[in-house]
Amino acid sequence: MPASKVAAISAAALYREFILDAGYYPEGGMQLFSNSLAQTFREKGGELILNKRVKNILTNNKKAIGILIDGDVVYNSRYVVSNADAMETFNTLLDFKHNVIIDKLKNMEPTFSAFAVYLGVNSSLRRELNDRCTTWYFTTYDIDSCYEFPMENLISEAPNYVVCLFPSFHNNLSPDTNKTSMILFSAASYKTEKYWNQNKSKFAQKLIHKAENIIPNLSKYIEVSEIATPHTFYKYTSNHRGALYGWACTVDQISKETFPQDSDVENLALVGHWCTNGVGQGGISEVIYSGKKAATFILQKLTEKVKA
């Protein structure tokens, strides 16, 4: 978010994370991070089920008791932990209407989504790029305008920034060392599928043209391109309106009490960037922290019940 809207404490946390501690990726790419968590989960006796959609969070007297997945298979549990979008969790998955939470959701503001262009180029780009790292290219110091533009998505105008990522610089994604993978990225608003179907190619070209300020003649190198709109991000994550970082880190939305992890539904815990922790909920570090915190208070409750 721009400095004019973000909560100061969230901005300070981000500054610490990226300026004082730099920014970095797992060697081998972000997927390996998820894979390592999955491996440890299995080693500890967990059963990981993929490609099965959760249909309902089951309750008894408004107390979470399990889940129902595709195929009408029921898994009973003492606690349910939802990493899903809060809108979906309480408007769709929960098997009763918690009107207090649903009313609160109506006033919550999500973050923006994204527009991305994935490119395969027939050049190593070693001559074109001196800095082999993620590059944020801005044409203005008016950061508020950089955020206002994607919210309007004025396709007739050129975007005033683009983020360029180069995954193959750090991971061997292609057997041909003279070819490179790239991602061009910009914030974007959700809008309609019709809007994006009509304009995505045009907007992709504008991002490519903007990136040519970093890589001259980039267009000539492109062999493969794929476009992701906010609807693409919604399709693969189920995040409300394709939001990248869950709830926006505004002053009104970061308090632990705004959307607590220990939800108002008994034995239902929330994790991820759709619950609030008092600092800011977006980004991998905060999401990981929310998982650890949820595990801690669930274990404490289980221990207290055993003692009782």
User: Is residue 215 a part of any domain in this protein?
Assistant: yes
Residues 176 and 104 in one domain: no
Whether the CB-CB separation of 1 and 8 falls below 8 Å is answered with no
Decide if pLDDT at 273 tops 90.
Answer: yes
Residues 40 and 94 in one domain: yes
User: Is residue 197 a part of any domain in this protein?
Assistant: yes
- pLDDT computed for residue 117 by the predictor: 97
Between helices 193-211 and 230-237, what is the axis angle to 10°? 110
- What is the sign of the dihedral through the CA atoms of 240, 241, 243 and 247? negative
- pLDDT computed for residue 128 by the predictor: 79
Residues 122 and 230 in one domain: yes
CATH assignment at residue 74: 3.50.50.60
Give the residue numbers spanning the domain of 278.
30-108+248-307
Domain end among 214, 237, 260: 237
> Mean pLDDT over residues 212-228, rounded?
93
Residues 64-98 have pLDDT tens digits of: 999 999 999 999 999 999 999 999 999 999 999 99
Residues 120 and 74 in one domain: no
- pLDDT computed for residue 152 by the predictor: 62
Residues 117 and 187 in one domain: yes
User: Is residue 221 a part of any domain in this protein?
Assistant: yes
Domain end among 216, 237, 258: 237
- pLDDT computed for residue 90 by the predictor: 95
Domain count for the chain, please give it. Answer: 2
Residues 103 and 120 in one domain: no
Decide if pLDDT at 22 tops 80.
Answer: no
Residues 96 and 126 in one domain: no
Residues 121 and 82 in one domain: no
CATH assignment at residue 137: 3.30.519
> Mean pLDDT over residues 194-220, rounded?
92
> Mean pLDDT over residues 266-278, rounded?
92
User: Is residue 21 a part of any domain in this protein?
Assistant: no
Decide if pLDDT at 38 tops 60.
Answer: yes
User: Is residue 208 a part of any domain in this protein?
Assistant: yes
Domain end among 204, 237, 270: 237
User: Is residue 22 a part of any domain in this protein?
Assistant: no
Q: Report the side by side order of strands in the sheet with 180-188.
A: 135-138, 161-165, 180-188, 113-121, 222-228
Residues 103 and 196 in one domain: no
User: Is residue 51 a part of any domain in this protein?
Assistant: yes
Three-state secondary-structure class, residue 65: strand
Residues 178 and 290 in one domain: no
Mean pLDDT of the chain: 88
Burial of 275 (0-12, 13-18, 19+ CB in 10 A): buried
Residues 81 and 147 in one domain: no
- pLDDT computed for residue 174 by the predictor: 66
Q: Which amino acid is at 59?
A: T
User: Is residue 23 a part of any domain in this protein?
Assistant: no
Whether the CB-CB separation of 164 and 129 falls below 8 Å is answered with no
Residues 272 and 225 in one domain: no
User: Considering the chain, what percentage of its residues have pLDDT values greater than 70?
Assistant: 94
Q: 199-206: long-range contacts at Cβ-Cβ below 8 A with a sequence spacing of 24 or more?
A: 199/153, 199/155, 200/115, 200/227, 200/229, 201/227, 202/155, 203/115, 203/153, 203/155, 203/159, 204/115, 204/117, 206/155, 206/158, 206/159
Q: Which residues of 154-241 form beta strands (DSSP E)?
A: 161-165, 180-188, 222-228
Residues 143-199 have pLDDT tens digits of: 888 877 665 655 656 678 899 988 877 766 667 778 888 999 998 888 899 999 999
